[in-house]
Amino acid sequence: MNVPFLDLRIQTAEVEAEVMAGVQDLLKRGDFVLGDGVARFEAEFAAFCECDHSIGVASGFDALKLIFRAMDIGPGDEVITTSHTFIATALAISSVGASPVLIEVDPDTYTMDPSKIEAALTERTKAILPVHLYGQPAEMVPLLELAKKHGLKLIEDACQAHGARSDGRRAGSIGDAAAFSFYPGKNLGAFGDGGAVTTNDATLAERIRTLRNYGSAQKYFHDELGENSRLDTIQALVLSEKLKKLEGWNIERRAAAEQYTKQLCGVGDIKTPTTRKGAEPVFHLYVIQTKRRDELQEHLKAQGIDSLIHYPVPVHLQKAYSSKGWKKGDFPQTEQLAGNILSLPVFPGITDAQIETVCESIRQFYEKNVETGQAQLNF
C-alpha cells in the first residue's frame, strides 16, 4: 500500500459544496478583496483562538512582518528565536531590518528552551519569538515571565499550531501577538496563500489593519508607509468552512499520533515525540528521531511510503545567512536534530491501515538489523 505524506483532497471534499456555493454568491457581490467574508472569518478565527482580534493578511510571513512593523521593531533591533524552525521565522525578522538571534530548542519537545534566553539578551533585544513547531506549543509560562522581567514583546509563531493549547490557553492568545499561516498544507489551509495576526491589543490590531492596506484607515488617506498584504474574500470563505471542521481534524491528527507512538515505542532506536505536561499539541507534523534516519527513509520510500525532513538545514547553516558568520557547531543540539528527524505521514483522513502499513514497514527495517546483531552474538 502506498502512503502519501499528505492528502489534501480528503479535506477539500468535505467543504467543496459549501465553498463553491459561497464563491458563486461572491461572484454576484464582487467584493473580492477584504469583503464581508474576510470580516466574518476574522471574527470567527479570533473566537476560535480565544482572543480579541484577528486580522487577515496575505501569508504567515507577512503576519510576522506586520507584527514587527506595528511594534516598531526594525534596523538595529534583535529578536530571539530558534535555529530549528522553518526559515520564514528568521526571514521575517530580517525583512524589517532587525537581526534574528538564534538559540537552541529542547530536543525532546522541539520548542524553544527558555533556559537559553538570558544568555542571548543584549541592549538591542526587543522581542522573543517562540515557534509552536510541528503543532507542539512552546512552554509559554517561563517565556511570559522573562518577557515581563526584561520589558520585551512576546510574539508566537503559531503557523503550525492552529488550535493547540499551552497550559490551557490557545496558541495565538498567549503572547502580545501571534502569526498564523493558511498555506494549504497547514492544519487550517486555504486554497492558496493566506495568513492572520491574532492579538488582544486593540491598538496593535488597528495598526496592522492599516499597515496591511497601504497604511490607510480611510480610503485615499495614508497615515504611514503601508503595504498590500490583504486576505482575499475567496480564501476567507474557504477558511470559514474549514474552520468548522478544524477541531475534528485536529482530534484525528492526535489520534493518528497516538497510534504511531503506541506502535513505535521501543522499536529500534526510535524516539517518538514528547508532549510536555500542560501542552495540547495538534500534530501538524509527527516527527520521530533515529540515528539511522537516511537509511530508514530510503527503506520507506522503496515501499511506497512518503516521509519528509522538517528541516534538513537549520537556519544558522543556511546559505542565505552566510554573512552572519554562524558556523557548524554553534547549535549542536539543533544540528543533531537536523540529522536525526523524520516526519511520518499524518493528515485528517489518514486511515488506520495506512498508519499500520507505515509502522509495519518501520518494524521490518529494524528487525532486519536485530537479526544481524543476534547472528553476531552467536559467534
Residue ranges in contact with ligand PLP by CB under 6 A: 59-61, 85-86, 88-89, 131, 157, 159-160, 181, 183, 193, 195
* Of residues 34 and 88, the one with the C-beta less far from ligand PLP: 88
Question: Least CB distance from residue 315 to ligand PLP, whole Å?
Answer: 11
Strands 165-166 and 169-170: antiparallel
Number of other CB atoms surrounding residue 242 within 10 Å: 24
* Identity at 187, one-letter amino acid code: N
Our separate counts of H helices and E strands in the chain read: 11, 14
* Of residues 134 and 260, the one with the C-beta less far from ligand PLP: 134
Question: Least CB distance from residue 5 to ligand PLP, whole Å?
Answer: 15
| CB-based contact 182:269 (threshold 8 Å) | no
Q: Which residue is nearest to ligand PLP (CB)?
A: 60
Please return the burial class of 283, using the count of CB atoms within 10 Å of its CB with bins 0-12, 13-18 and 19+: buried
Question: Least CB distance from residue 159 to ligand PLP, whole Å?
Answer: 3
Distance CA(264)–CA(282), nearest Å, equals: 19
Compute the residue count for the chain. 379
Peptide bond into 311 cis (omega under 30): yes
Question: Least CB distance from residue 123 to ligand PLP, whole Å?
Answer: 27
Question: Least CB distance from residue 85 to ligand PLP, whole Å?
Answer: 5
* Of residues 270 and 338, the one with the C-beta less far from ligand PLP: 338
Give CA torsion, residues 269, 272, 275, 280, to 10 deg. 180
* Of residues 249 and 365, the one with the C-beta less far from ligand PLP: 249
* Of residues 91 and 120, the one with the C-beta less far from ligand PLP: 91
Question: Least CB distance from residue 133 to ligand PLP, whole Å?
Answer: 6
* Of residues 61 and 249, the one with the C-beta less far from ligand PLP: 61
Distance CA(309)–CA(311), nearest Å, equals: 5
- The sign of the CA dihedral 11, 13, 14, 18 is positive
Give me the sheet containing 153-157, strands edge to edge. Answer: 53-57, 195-199, 177-181, 153-157, 125-128, 78-82, 99-103
* Of residues 35 and 60, the one with the C-beta less far from ligand PLP: 60
Question: Least CB distance from residue 131 to ligand PLP, whole Å?
Answer: 5
